[in-house]
Amino acid sequence: MEQDVKKRKAAERAYEIIEQKLSKETVLGIGTGSTTNYFIDILNKVNIDIHGIVSSSKESTRRLEKSGLRILHLNDVYHLDFYVDGADEFNDRNELIKGGGGALTREKILANSSKCFICIVDDIKFSKVLGNFPVAIEVIELARSAISRQIMKLGGKPVYREDFLTDNGNQIIDVHNLDLKVPLEVEQQINGIPGVVENGIFSKRKADIILKSSELGVENIALI
């Protein structure tokens, strides 16, 4: 089964899970990335009556225009009933690495504001220990070099993502070679460095449900 087919199957299962729980008061949160785009494609085709959607990026907002659904600002809602997003990497504790698309800060804000965070992935994203994918860090431009030096003290290899600005107007450092045996500790260490806006380790706010798509179908991995 091709990877794109796996992604589409995971997105379809996510919609099946939330479809029966939708109401006129429902607020959905939508992430950013190639797998999430398949979920957006579903929303663009179905006819649902919900309160609206909060998007994690300008790109996802643009893709959602065909849905006819109301795009809301997070400041105008109390919470998100569901947040659907993909991941660059995940482990068996539902901890994630995200940020390949550069929307990690808004994605983490939406995930933290959600009652239920559903992560849709294909099986090649699984790692027993996180770290195969670099950790993206959104940084204030002024502090980029100083932050990179601090990251090197943690054992990481920082690489500046050239010619890229986040939707917040900030820069990204992609960090390789971090020891992520205890992801929560590293997430907190990085966020404690002055000038760091956010990083792409999702350990404090894990996914509630991971929908892992493989040749055998879509497996529902719920956080107990």
Length of the chain: 224
Q: Which residues are catalytic?
A: 107
Phi, psi for residue 125 in degrees, rounded to 5: -80, -5
Q: From the DSSP assignment, how many helices (H) and strands (E) are in the chain?
A: 6, 14
Strand-pairing partners, residue 122, are: 213
For residues 198 and 105, the answer to whether their CB atoms sit within 8 Å is: yes
CA distances from 123 to 99, 128, 211 (A): 18, 12, 9
Query: Amino acid identity of 22?
Result: L
